[in-house]
Structure 1
Amino acid sequence: MGTCHYMNYQHIEHAQVAALVGRGENDRAHAEAWGLPLYDSVTEANRLEQIDLFDVCVPTYLHKAIVLEALACKKPVICEKPIALHLKDAQEMFDAAQANGVQLYVAQVLQFTREVEWLHRIVDERLYGEPLDACFERLSQRPAWSQGNWLFDREKSGLLPFDLHVHDLDVMVSVFGRPDSVDYTACRRKGSEICDQYRIRYGYRNGPTVSAEAAWLNACIPFTARWRVYFERGMVICDEKGLTGYGADGQTTRFDVEDPVKVPCGINLPPSGWFLRELTHFVQCAEQNAPSDRVKKQQVLDVLSVLETIQ
């Protein structure tokens, strides 16, 4: 993810990557390739370079220590999702940001996709009336790209709910609010210690019924991410065809979700404008020492509080 962020910073006019922090062979290779100094710690980088913001792109279990170190330098921080594996740790990090007079931003990138931007507008403006039901699906083959298989260690990654389902849950919470109830089923292969697939139902007393499926499948399937929301006067579907609204009046709307600028990510995602819009937004917020209105603190905490109930 660090490579992805670096490549996108090259397209933000008023942002320049000043240094890298890391101790591994890959870190040294990237520093050499990009012509950047490499430091062993955030504190060292802050002392020897003119740093305005730290961007933390490390495995989840390392987030807390590094984020707290960066905040202690009184610098704003962007932290990749999920910010933490425990609600109390996330709260401690936000408290540290407040104590040091700086901001902490959590990189929930789906908030910066055209599709989710449209979903917010469709729901907020009631373009199809009240939302009644929603369904989210995010399926992947079993990941094989984590160093040392840390993704399969519950204490390091939080497993499938925290690493994969967090994307859709963040969207749900930002659009519909924190659910009032959570029920789920899960399956696993014989002899496996982790679940391969979850089906989750979220209940809202005064809102829609929301369901979700998330999976790391022992099958070489193409990555699948799609959702649909049923409203009083129509349905909106987001899939490989784009974002389409089907009105009860017979009108079909193809929403414009094309990215005007697409940046290669350097990871297993096609070029897009997602990360560029995300990082541009956070940089602009940091320049004003302002919190994000796209990924809000309470939203982040609500997502973690729900994830802690899914094992």
Structure 2
Amino acid sequence: MGTANEVQHFLRTGDHDAHCRAWPGDRIERERRAHEELRQALIEEVQRRTATGPVEERLQGVDTVTLTRRKVEPMVRGLFPALEQDAVLSLLENSVVFLTPANIVEVLLESSWLSTAWDLANLYLLSVGAELLGPEAPQLLGLSEGTTCYVSLSYFDETSPFADYLVHEAAHVFHNCKRHDVGLPETRRREWLLNIDYRKRETFAYACEAYSRILETGGSRQARMALANDYATSAALCDERVSVREVVEAVREAAAARNGWTRILARCAPSTSAGTRASVTAATTAQRHGPEDLSGPPSPTR
């Protein structure tokens, strides 16, 4: 397969030959040239698909740092001891990046992996109403890589009373960031900000997302319990990585508790104390769809 075909295959699928054999030179040179050409082709294709789009105005007048801090502060206050809260808040309030026409090129150039760049390109295209890159492109609203949370501008158009994918992506930072990276003491058993079971990371993020909205709206325990029941009847997490029932149960337990954040964390902690797992993958937030029957397993479709 020639380089032109490799480029088209990457643009359509997000996949590429890890050995970059279509490019000339030794392995290092092949990889350098391939990654440069594939990333540049991705940028040009995104620009082509959005060339006639409207100028984006949804971020005008929005202080994203203040917005982020307001959204994540209850979660941080509930999950960390007082002496650690300021360090975690300082990290999170600068972690959110809304994808816009002004920064999309820089984001695609600086993302760590080509596969991540492809996902981010589709996230951006979806947010501006442009055609996605391929038939299998994920319809994403947010994506976390390390301590950076990329969020769609669709965030400002969201109407679901239980959706807050800024909080969802911020929740993933807790298992992506080591304590010493924010100046907190670290031990063999406390390497990451929070010890979350690898299999429960999406459950944790979805539960935190819904519970954050319940806290924003419900001024009393009774009100929060009523909202949790509403969530149970309308939860639509079309994400094969989670059980809707498990998320609903976590949210209900949290709504009934004095500090629901710790109840969510306890449900998502590793089942053993054998140590923490390393976090090496980005977490994504899938597009929400319609109501789902809670009597059965969640739908595997996004």
- Scaled to the shorter chain, the TM-score interval is under 0.3
Q: Which has the higher contact order (CA 8 A, sep 6+)?
A: 1
- Structure 2 length-normalised TM: 0.26
- Structure 1 length-normalised TM: 0.26
Which structure has the highest strand share of the two? 1
Which structure has the highest helix share of the two? 2
